[in-house]
Amino acid sequence: MKGKNLGFMIICFVVNGLFFLQPTLAKGNIEDGKSKSMLCSACHGQDGNSINPEWPSLAGQHEKYFVNTLKAYKNESRKNAVMYPLVMTLSEQDMMDLAAYYQVQTPKKLSYDYDLAKKGEALYRGGNSSGVAACIACHGPRGKGNPGAGYPSIAGQHAAYTKNALIEYTNGNRKPGINDMMQTLASRMTSEEMDSVAEYIQALGSK
Ligand code: HEC
Ligand code: HEC
């Protein structure tokens, strides 16, 4: 009986200990994020809308995906020579502040090639016979992703960046993905499929 009680006490102690070890959920501060974003605006635009189609727009991106991504650059599970030195200067609080700021920025609408986007729409909504799952399942009908699950918003993103992102999943430069979902998908896509679905994703920002 005594032994049992001791065991129970130890369990309570461990469980309590775990409870207290949980970090308090800190939140990002939009105003602080705005001032910290000066460093980023040269490439990502002042309001998170990048002008160079090779550089991703960040406006409207979800905080969770945003912070996870910056951490992935830092631990080099996502390899990029431009972002790596930049994130080395950021603290966890900086990352959260920046994420809070960019999340509330409004993505700009971009023009797009209608016929190419139409082709991409079929893949986005229905997947293909080579085993590519429909993008809509995780990124949603409007490309807004799933904030809680950490699925990024891709709506209105520059097609050139999206195509590059899909290639990066196939060549091993991006490893942060949840269960390697994107790595598997992208490796089953042709270059033409990447072009058309990227155009549709750019178009989604205008819908
Ligand atoms: C010199 C240009 C440049 C600067 C300055 C810059 N970035 Fe980037 N950023 C890029 C490029 C290029 C990429 C795409 C890299 C890749 O393919 O992984 C990128 C990617 C990102 C991504 C991933 C986007 C996504 O959709 O997955 C985030 C988040 C990001 N940058 C945040 C920042 C923040 C925050 C700052 C400021 C502290 C910053 N960047 C400064 C060029 C820049
Ligand atoms: C099973 C869920 C799932 C499906 C289906 C899916 N994605 Fe993703 N996608 C994700 C997740 C999770 C991430 C973030 C992974 C990471 O952190 O690198 C992601 C990331 C991306 C990114 C990178 C975004 C950025 O800003 O860099 C692109 C582009 C993308 N997906 C396009 C697609 C396309 C196109 C399809 C359909 C052909 C598709 N996805 C289908 C879950 C999914």
Going from the Cα of 59 to the center of ligand 1, the distance in angstroms, rounded, reads 12
Percent of the chain with pLDDT over 90: 80
Q: Among 116, 185, 190, 196, say which to mutate for ligand 2: greatest number of ligand atoms within 8 Å of CB.
A: 185
**Of the candidates 149, 165, 145, which has an alpha carbon nearest to the alpha carbon of residue 205?**
145
Give the closest ligand to the alpha carbon of residue 84: 1
- How far does the centroid of ligand 2 lie from the alpha carbon of residue 151, in Å? 7
Q: How confident is the model at residue 16 (pLDDT cuts 50, 70, 90)?
A: very low
Helix (H, G, I), strand (E, B) or coil at 3: helix
Q: For 68-111, write each residue's pLDDT tens digit.
A: 999 999 999 999 999 999 999 999 999 999 999 999 999 999 99
For the cut 80, the answer to whether the pLDDT of residue 22 exceeds it is no
Question: What is the SS3 assignment for 29?
Answer: coil
Same CATH fold assignment for domains 30-103 and 114-204: yes
Nearest Cα residue to 200 out of 147, 148, 134, 150: 134
What is the dihedral sign for C-alpha 62, 65, 69, 71? positive
Distance 152 CA to ligand 2 centre (A): 7
Per-domain residue ranges for the chain?
30-103, 114-204
Q: Which ligand 2 atom is nearest residue 174's CA?
A: 18
Query: What is the total residue count of the chain?
Result: 207
Determine whether the shortest distance from the Cβ of 67 to ligand 1 is under 6 A. Answer: no
Average pLDDT over residues 52-76: 96
Per residue in 151-184, pLDDT (tens digit) is 999 999 999 999 999 999 999 899 866 668 899 9
Place of tokens 């909504």: 125
Q: Which CATH number fits domain 30-103: 1.10.760.10, 3.40.50.1000, 1.10.8.60, 2.60.40.420?
A: 1.10.760.10
For 114-204, the fitting CATH number among 1.10.300.10, 1.10.760.10, 1.25.10.10, 3.40.50.280 is 1.10.760.10
Question: pTM for the complete prediction?
Answer: 0.90
Q: Whose alpha carbon is nearest atom 23 of ligand 1? A: 69
CB 198 within 8 A of CB 110: no
What are the helix and strand counts (H, E) for the chain? 11, 0
Residue of higher predicted confidence among 23 and 125:
125
Give the pLDDT mean for 2-14: 52
Q: Quick one: pLDDT band at residue 206, thresholds 50, 70, 90?
A: confident
